[in-house]
Structure 1
């Protein structure tokens, strides 16, 4: 019997030793696995927390202009920008021991296992906020063991490398709240049209219940389900001592005012064309790729002035007949820095998103002439330089070909006119003669210096604007004249910030002088002539049809071809330009259509500058002004019926006085004396 017992004891000891060894090995393996996992988590480092976030575009007035995203509307906000009610409600229902565990809640796991065993099925989840965050960031929502292992590893990496507040902040900004809203800020705006920091207890407890089943618990489509879920959350908060019973009851019965779906305001300005141009600047000029634009939650502060944009759209609708299918483009800029304040790329974005202000190239007509006359002024011309306006046939460089330009309605002075009159009356003969006299390259060089990007043909007709250009380039070039010759470029974006306020781009403020400020002013003064009826000659100044609309000093130039109508002009504070025409290059036969550009420009400028100081163009040092006879460019004498104030580089002003009217004045005075004498012819006779 003892032998049997001894054998059993030996066998038991052997089994015990085996089990002990196995236990030690298992413990060693578990310890090794534990150390390996945490070593891996440490070596792997912090996992990236980047998630797709909505980019928000702001107008110059600080209002939200538009939002762009990749289908998931997100706005990242810091934890201190989230209502405490939201944090408390979320923790109460999702993970009340969040600040106590290290990524895995063993109490909750044990409770879930017991509940599942009792129900003989999966009835209760045990995922912590950290686990959910890991799943939202890095994983698909499948239910495989591989995914669960990866989730565990990500959870450990999150807990080891980030603080609890950082994890909670990330979770609150990535969780899905239904209807395309990701994160609490997007949810607050969607459901209640307010920021997350302003949510009440009632609103917060409602939103906290949605992530469990975004469709099932959406208060917009299943209000009863949402209300029951809200009641559960408020009860949990009360049990945890976060709120009182009175607060819970009040929050439950408080009626919630849900935001109405945004509807497009027919009276609201449509900045779609501007937005397209701003996005193009982000991608092409600033080198920001689409992934960053659509996912990094950028805050983009644009140059758009909402009031000016609204004014431009109103004037376009007021001026252009609704029955006309003619198209239009418009750009307004600050000439001091190139910031685009308003832009229209067509009459209806939904029908045609093609941006005629930034993409189309059209013949500019006579709006090209200021570039020509700037070059001529630099080459020795002055406002008084005379050339004969008459029908002329020019022989081209090949010695065979000819070119015969014509004036509007074939009107000519058939006599010499001055440069001041030539631009004010838009005389084509004077322009082509000047172009050929100074050399055809001079106009091309000047246009390129002023930022014209389109190719220009070296032909006599270039002086009359036959090479197509972009509207925005032309307006920018006129802006350089307006600011005294400093380089600017069309700018749609002032500043870009990350979602947490870090400035990643600031529009440059430095400017270099690209053209001579003296000649820039002289060209500007020439362009004021289109509104000055002292320069009327064989025809009236081109600005006469809109003179009744303008009330302050402007410089500008209109241009007309068979298919295009333009008006570009400026004050010291603002430059704008209008193009009107047909997309297919159809001839504009309607006289009214040809007048649309001028009228729209004038009405916009007056409205946009209403209430602002009526600034004059100031001549820089090195210039002087004298009164001349605008017909011949000579110094005006007292007998000249019309005297025009012209500007010159000091020393280049005319030295000869006009004598054309002296004989006429003398004869007039003689007649006046004879008339006076006749009044008293009876007196000598009476004495006789």
Structure 2
């Protein structure tokens, strides 16, 4: 056995190879090297490589398995922890509409996005069906995500480096309604998870409705309601089936497929949607064949701030969103879908524009002449109408609350109120001659037209806006008190209280400011808060804001009643005599800038106050003299009378409260004025034409008897009732003042 064993073991390599071969036959290609016995089966390195590849494959499969398990675990975790969050604010953004006081006539809108969210139950079924046919045929059957679409999108993203969707209606809804636009992988994963949860928790009709209220349709329209209005001029509930199909068809690329831009593509998409609607049994074959491509309306995007309403919209926005205590933010107004009801009365606003605008009123008005008008209810502070300019886009400086003008003698009302508070009788006589020099300013002051009125009481001095009397009065009252009373009345602008000239109104204020102050005087000393907004409601008609009718008693009512009595003389026989044609008690005051660059009038009944101011401004912003024709006929009084005649109409005539003068002649210490009551006083007076014709003048001067009785006085000149005049300097360049 031993020999046999050795014999076997000593067999040559060739024989071992031959005996080891299977299947018979001679193998002549077997290697005979000394290494051949290490590979008894003869496969050599190939078999080793195969084993190595198998090991690598196993590792790869194991790794992929781990990745899949980890991914599934992560997905499960994200699914369990992902909540249906509150909707993205942008998705719910709706335009806010501003209305006139009637609550139904719109003035304009605020909109970050032009959207009006509607209840989809009012829509015909075919509206939603058309959207489903266009965007996601399997919508009513799928679980909210499209795996094939996601796969295609991922492949495209990897191979082409672009971001692509693959979204169902539910996914698009989740993206726009909850997440905001997203193209990142992380965002798409959240979108898919949220879509799955939504499909299990929300009704399909709810998802579709929210989607239709969110999607962009082109022409600046977000949501089906805005789209129906911008394409067909109707509400979404009134859309026809063909109109619905057309709108649904352009959803993927509304800016490019708008029928007005690309009619062929729009019609192709229209027929595609109809075909799918027929295939999916939403419509009959007859419906599809009979449907014609609908005609869209011409779309002309307008800037909401164009025209005069732009000023109203800006003022409303500022009132609601400016300041630390503002009830809303600008973003709230742009996205909240509110209904803002203003105090502006449509008929009065149209009237104001008709009277004040050079495009409808005085067409001969030079282009440099600016006008501001404001009409308010002094009892509540509600702004009834205003004129701030013709077009906000071409003249953004608001002539009511931004532009300023030198207010002139309208400040005399506060000086006179100060005298009443100090116990001075309005029958106290002052020297109304012109010119006079005043030590407090070291300058000579003249009356308009260089008129000397002689010795007159304060009624006549106020009626004729006698500068020399009010400089005298102002020295007693003090400039500080005049300014303080104006601020207490509600004026917020700067008033120089260091000089007696403040009674002549050398400061520049806005129409809004001076109106706020006089509203307090018209309201018996109660200071109302001027406001444009009456109410704000949300889309569900729930009240969010109501204007507080604020009315603080800041002045003694009896003293203000006496002031009102004096202020009626301006219209009875003074500088605003033209307004007598209204046939009812009117109180007020005219004002003229020292250099005649501005003229104004503020007049009121107990329940309606209106201000008109006119100033001349060059293209470079420089102040120019108002043309004489507007000064001579005192244009603001003309505007006031024309407006008030129609605004008051046949309303009952209101009278001011009875007033008693408890003051003393010459004041408490007898040092005011001349200290005695005259037997008569000089009161120049004008008889006006009641049709305003700037090219003509009809001036007739008379000297009526003053109610205070007969006596002596002096006066000369042609000052008349008009303000402005030619007071000028009487001592070279000493800087004398003439302002009425």
Question: For the superposition of Structure 1 and Structure 2, which TM-score range results when normalised by the shorter chain?
Answer: 0.7 to 0.9
Q: Is the 8 A contact 2:426 2:661 kept in 1?
A: no
Shift of 1:560: 0.9
d(CA) in 1 for partners of 2:150, 2:353: 66
Pairing partner for 2:549 from 493, 502, 509:
509
For residue 205 of structure 1, what is the aligned residue in structure 2? Answer: 245
**TM alignment of 1:174-323, pairs within 5 A:** 174-250=214-290, 252-253=291-292, 255-256=294-295, 258-259=297-298, 261=300, 270-285=308-323, 286=326, 288-316=328-356, 317=358, 318-319=361-362, 321-323=364-366
CA distance in 1, matches of 2:555, 2:193: 64
Counterpart secondary structure, 2:603: strand
Q: 1:241: how far off?
A: 4.1
Whole-angstrom CA distance in 2 between matches of 1:589 and 1:207: 57
Q: What's the counterpart of residue 370 of structure 1?
A: 413
1:341 corresponds to 2:420: no
Check whether the contact 1:272–1:349 (CA below 8 A) recurs between aligned residues.
Answer: yes
Superposed counterparts of 1:4-83, under 5 Å: 29=70, 32-42=73-83, 45-46=85-86, 48-51=88-91, 52-61=93-102, 62-70=104-112, 72-80=113-121, 82-83=123-124
Q: Counterpart in 2 of 1:386?
A: 429
Q: Which of 606, 611, 616 is 2:645 aligned to?
A: 606
In the TM superposition, what is the alpha-carbon distance from 1:260 to its structure 2 partner? 5.0
Shift of 1:472: 0.5
Pairwise CA distance, 1:391: 3.4
Residue 350 to residue 31, structure 1, CA distance change in 2 (3 Å): closer
What CA distance in whole angstroms lies between the structure 2 residues aligned with 1:225 and 1:20?
A: 49
Residues 262 and 322 of structure 1: CA distance in aligned 2, closer, same or farther (over 3 Å) = farther
User: After the TM superposition, which residues 135-150 of structure 1 pair with which residues of structure 2 at under 5 Å, given as runs?
Assistant: 135-137=175-177, 138-140=179-181, 142=183, 145-150=185-190
Secondary structure of 2:514's match?
Answer: helix
2:588 to 556, 570, 577: 556
Bigger Cα displacement from structure 2, 224-233 vs 371-380: 224-233
Instruction: Provide the secondary structure at the position in 2 that maps to 1:512.
Output: strand
Matched, 1:543 2:576: yes
Q: 1: CA distance between counterparts of 2:248 and 2:598? A: 59
Residues 411-449 of structure 1: CA distance to partner in whole angstroms, max 9, x if unpaired? Answer: 12222x222222111122222222222333321221011
Q: 1:381 to 1:596 in 2, by over 3 A?
A: same
Q: How far apart are the structure 2 equivalents of 1:109 and 1:264?
A: 40
Instruction: Decide whether the 8 Å contact of 1:386 with 1:632 is kept in 2.
Output: no
Per-residue CA deviation, residues 385-415 of structure 1 (Å, 9 max, x unaligned), is: 3323223645445xxx523322111212222
**Where does the alignment leave 5 or more consecutive residues of structure 1 unmatched?**
1-16, 117-121, 534-540, 625-629, 635-640, 646-656, 662-688
Cα separation, 2, equivalents of 1:659 and 1:310? 48
1:387 aligns to what SS in structure 2? strand
Match of 1:568 among 587, 598, 602: 602
Measured after TM superposition, the shift of residue 557 of structure 1 is: 1.0
Q: Report the Cα offset of residue 453 of structure 1.
A: 0.9
1:275 to 1:77, Cα distance in 2 relative to 1, 3 A: same
Q: Separation in 1 of the partners of 2:378 and 2:321?
A: 24
* SS of structure 1 residue aligned to 2:445: coil
Deviation at 1:263, TM superposition (A): 7.3
CA contact (8 A) 2:344 2:384 kept: yes
Are 2:679 and 2:711, in contact at CA under 8 Å, matched by a contact in 1? no
The reply on whether 1:167 has 2:210 as its aligned counterpart is no
Other structure's SS at 2:553 match:
coil
1:556–1:659 CA distance, 2 compared to 1 (3 A): closer
Does structure 1 retain, via aligned residues, the 8 Å contact 2:588–2:603? yes
The equivalent of 1:682 in structure 2 is: none
- Structure 1 contact 308–341 (Cα < 8 Å) conserved: yes
Q: How many equivalent pairs are there?
A: 599
Distance in 1 separating the partners of 2:105 and 2:96 = 14
The answer on 1:578 being equivalent to 2:621 is: no
Q: Which has the larger radius of gyration?
A: 2
The alpha-carbon distance between structure 1 residues 521 and 36, as it changes in their structure 2 partners (threshold 3 A), is: same
* Cα distance, 1:100–1:523 mapped onto 2, change above 3 Å: farther
Q: Residue by residue, what CA displacement relative to the aligned partner does 1:328-352 show, whole Å, maximum 9, x if unpaired?
A: 2222222222222322334554443
Flag structure 2 segments of 5+ consecutive residues without an equivalent: 1-57, 157-161, 663-676, 682-702, 713-740
Contact 1:319 1:600 in 2 (8 A): no
Larger CA deviation: 465-474 vs 27-36: 27-36
> In the alignment, which of 445, 456, 463 is matched to residue 495 of structure 2?
456
Distance 1:159 1:132 in 2: 12
1:617: which partner in 2? Answer: 655
Structure 1 residues 111 and 351 mapped into 2: Cα distance closer, same or farther (>3 Å)?
closer
Partners of 2:460 and 2:434 in 1: how far apart?
Answer: 17
**Per-residue Cα deviation, 1:341-374 (whole angstroms, up to 9, x for no partner):** 3223345544431123212332211111122222
1:665-684 to structure 2, matched below 5 A, reads none
Q: How far is 1:82 from its partner?
A: 4.6
1:329 and 1:357 in contact (8 A); partners too: yes
Q: Please give the secondary structure, in 2, of the residue aligned with 1:607.
A: helix
Q: Does residue 446 of structure 2 align to residue 446 of structure 1?
A: no
Q: CA deviation at 1:25?
A: 7.3
Q: Which residue of structure 2 lines up, in the alignment, with residue 425 of structure 1? A: 464
